Every structure is written in structure tokens, then in C-alpha cells.
């Protein structure tokens, strides 16, 4: 996964839920974690900055400890069954059309009352989780690409094989 996609996924998720959690527990993937460690993993610098921007602590799941994320894996299986399996034989001609169908199906899943809890996922989220969310900043975290380059004597530099003028960035 590319870093800009990973950051965009977090931006969209936090906006969807209406806030950021106090602690974000992602999987221990290479995009977000530079050095894996059971007690003190080293986060990718940009990912850590995104956590600071939203005010959430990022604590990756422990490596080789499947019990730490069992509930999430179960939920992924439910969503795959409820959404992906349901839509697999339908034909879509645009991404907005597909996204609309997926959101519709996810809304149906969230409104379904769980037998063991006597409430829907949406009701449980509103009752138990919303109060614990941190308010979001006005703007999303912006992913930036930083490169070192040399400024030539004529005031030009090169970025991704494109010669640019120094005055273009003042």
C-alpha cells in the first residue's frame, strides 16, 4: 500500500465517523511502521505526523498476536459476506455508482439489529463510541512528498525530471 492511500483512508475514516479515536490501532504494516517491535514499534514519520494532526495515539497491533485483532478480523469477514458477496454479480459502470451501492449495503448492515445485543451497530456506536471521539481539525492531513535537490546557478532545479524555476515556488 502506498503512503498517500494509507493517509487518505484515515482521513476518510475519521470524517465518516465524525471524529478521531484517542488511540488508533492499525495492523503492523510496512507503510505505517518502520521498525516492528512488540513494545515500542517505530512509526513512519509521516504516519506519526498524521496521528499528531488528529490528536490520536497510533499504537500498531502486536506482531504474531492474532488475539489482539480477532474482533476486527471477524467484522471484516461479516462485511465481505454482507457487501462483497451480495454485489459480486452486479455490473457497475462507474466508481460513484459502485460506491453508492456499497454505502447502501453498509448502511443496511449497520441498521440490522444484533440478536445478542438487542441494538444495531449504528445505535451501539452512537451510544458507546461517539462521546469518546476527539473533535476533528478543520482540514484533513495533507500528505507531502519531500525531496532534496540542488539549486542550479541559473535559479532552476529539477523535481521528478522536470526542470523548474526557483521563483515558481516563492
Give the three-state DSSP class for 29: coil
pLDDT at 60 over 70: yes
CATH of the domain at 81: 3.30.420.10
Whether residue 146 lies inside any domain: the answer is: no
Q: pTM for the full model?
A: 0.76
Rounded mean pLDDT of 74-96?
Answer: 91
* Average pLDDT over the chain, rounded to an integer: 86
Structural domain includes residue 166:
no
Within-domain flag for 157: no
Asked, for residue 165, whether it belongs to a domain, the answer is no
Residue 38 lies in a domain: yes
- Mapped onto helix, strand or coil, the DSSP state of residue 69 is helix
Q: How far apart are CA 54 and CA 164, in angstroms?
A: 34
User: How much is the average pLDDT of 125-147?
Assistant: 89
Task: Please check whether residue 142 lies inside any domain of the structure.
Answer: no
Range(s) of the domain holding residue 98: 3-132
Write out pLDDT tens, residues 120-134.
999 999 999 999 999
pLDDT at residue 163 in the model: 61
What's the total number of domains in the chain?
Answer: 1
Amino acid at each position: 500500500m502506498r503512503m498517500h492511500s494509507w493517509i487518505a483512508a484515515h482521513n476518510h475514516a475519521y470524517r465518516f465517523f465524525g471524529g478521531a479515536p484517542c488511540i488508533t490501532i492499525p495492523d503492523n504494516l510496512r507503510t505505517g511502521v518502520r521498525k516492528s517491535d512488540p513494545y515500542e514499534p517505530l512509526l513512519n514519520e509521516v504516519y506519526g505526523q498524521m496521528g499528531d494532526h488528529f490528536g490520536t495515539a497510533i499504537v500498531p497491533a502486536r506482531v504474531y498476536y492474532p488475539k489482539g485483532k480477532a474482533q476486527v478480523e471477524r467484522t471484516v469477514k461479516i462485511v465481505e459476506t454482507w457487501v462483497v458477496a451480495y454485489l459480486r454479480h452486479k455490473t457497475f459502470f462507474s466508481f460513484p455508482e459502485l460506491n453508492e451501492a456499497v454505502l447502501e449495503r453498509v448502511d443496511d448492515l449497520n441498521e440490522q439489529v444484533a440478536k445478542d445485543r438487542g441494538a444495531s451497530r449504528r445505535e451501539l456506536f452512537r451510544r458507546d463510541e461517539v462521546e469518546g471521539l476527539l473533535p476533528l481539525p478543520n482540514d484533513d492531513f495533507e500528505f507531502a512528498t519531500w525531496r532534496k535537490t540542488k539549486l542550479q546557478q541559473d535559479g532552476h532545479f529539477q523535481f521528478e525530471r522536470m526542470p523548474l524555476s526557483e521563483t515558481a515556488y516563492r
